[in-house]
Amino acid sequence: MSRIALRTGVGLFWTLVVVIVAARAAYFHPHFAEQFGRVAALMDRLRAVLGA
């Protein structure tokens, strides 16, 4: 019984991994990734203004 539960759990885990990765690939927007660079630049400017 525990082997069946283990195999079921492992299979469910890898199924979820594949689904999540496929969804991220399908809905990936390059413009969203660019926003992180803008936020980092804004934080650098804010640190320069505050002298931190």
pLDDT digits (tens, 9 = 90+) for 1-52: 899 999 999 999 999 999 999 998 888 777 776 777 888 888 889 888 988 6
pTM above 0.75, yes or no: no
Residue 38 has which token pair? Answer: 């803008």
pLDDT of residue 9: 95
pLDDT of residue 30: 73
pLDDT of residue 52: 63
Query: 7-40: string of b/e by CB count within 10 Å (b at 16+)?
Result: eeeeeeeeeeeeeeeeeeeeeeeeeeeeeeeeee
Residue 20 has which token pair? Answer: 């999540």
